[in-house]
Chain A
Amino acid sequence: MNIFNSFQCKPLWEDLKLKVNPPALAFKIGESCFGYGLVRQWGMLILLESRATDEQMKKAAEDIDEYIKFVVDIKREVATIGGLRHYEGEQVLLGEGSKQGDLWGGGFDLETKEVDYDSMINIRPHQDNPSRTVLSPDIRSKIDIIIMELLKK
């Protein structure tokens, strides 16, 4: 069974007359959708626990001109891809049981196949990361491995 089978949540958004962007609502809607069974997609935000399909990659790249934002849980080795804001992915992963300290944001450019490690959610002085970029080589390495696996880098 492919639990990443995309289930389009958009009709539900429209029924409830909710905006797509606020992360709290996104998660609430995610829960609602999840109640239906196999939902793992919030607009263009997709939760990945195994390798992305071509269709998922295509959808995730639609938001920002072939550039895919991701938020990775380096402990659970899952990620969200797509969407306009890293905090949306962060909220989805927190709602799925991830811990804040394990989440790191970045981007994957489909045109150049390069990864970056920059996100507003990465600013965590208490984890020795006062920058928007991930400073720790170890964490970067973990991100690389997970992204390589999930995004067919």
Chain B
Amino acid sequence: MNSTDLVLNIAVNMGRLSRWAQEGKKERIKQFITDTDWYIDQIDEVAVKLQFRPTLKAFKEKYNLMKQDIRLDRDWAEDALTWANVLTHRAKLA
């Protein structure tokens, strides 16, 4: 997978995480955080374009905070949805 594919996979997962937070499915969230971590590890192995690096850095910071504090509430769900959208928009820049 190239960097764009990886970012799109992360974006899709963030959308899922958002939905499950809303639906109260914590076990599914944990499962897909593991999956998302794998994609993030992969993206560290490929060349990401300079233009996308600030977005990736900001996303990782936020994602790590979210991982440490998984909540089944509206705010956590909205954060995940926001990053799903940002990454979807910017995958082509990666």
27 contacts between A and B (CB under 8 A): A64-B86, A65-B54, A65-B58, A65-B59, A67-B85, A85-B75, A85-B78, A86-B78, A107-B85, A109-B85, A109-B90, A111-B55, A111-B90, A111-B93, A112-B90, A112-B92, A114-B89, A116-B85, A116-B88, A116-B89, A118-B81, A119-B78, A120-B22, A120-B74, A132-B18, A132-B19, A132-B81
Say yes or no: B55 contacts A120, CB within 8 Å.
no
* Interface flag for B7 (CB, 8 Å): no
Interface residues of A (CB under 8 A from B): 64-65, 67, 69, 84-87, 107, 109, 111-112, 114, 116, 118-120, 132
Chain A contact residues: helix, strand, loop or mixed: mixed
* Tally of contacts, chain A with chain B, CB under 8 A: 51
- In angstroms, Cα B81 to Cα A86, docked, is 11
Cβ contacts under 8 Å, B84 to chain A: 118
At the interface, yes or no: B77 with Cβ under 8 Å from chain A?
yes
Shortest A143–chain B CB gap in Å is: 14
User: Are the C-beta atoms of B74 and A109 separated by less than 8 Å?
Assistant: no
Chain B contacts of A107 at CB under 8 A?
82, 85-86
In the bound assembly, the distance between CA atoms of A107 and B22 in angstroms comes to: 20
- Residues from chain A with a CB closer than 8 A to the CB of B19 are 132
Let me know if B78 and A65 touch, CB within 8 A. no
CA distance A116 to B55 in the complex (A): 17
Q: Hey, which chain B residues are within 8 Å of A119, CB to CB?
A: 78, 81
Which of A65, A86, A118, A120 has the most B CB atoms < 10 Å from its CB?
Answer: A65
Residues of A within 8 A of B22 (CB): 120
Report yes or no: A120 in contact with B88, Cβ–Cβ below 8 A. Answer: no
Give the top 6 A-B pairs by smallest Cβ distance, nearest first: A109-B89, A65-B58, A112-B89, A116-B85, A67-B86, A114-B89
Complex alpha-carbon distance, A67 and B88, angstroms: 12
What A residues does B89 contact at CB under 8 A? 67, 109, 111-112, 114, 116
Chain B's nearest CB lies how many Å from the CB of A131?
10
> How far is the CB of B12 from the nearest CB of chain A, in Å?
13
CA distance in complex: A36, B56 (Å) = 41
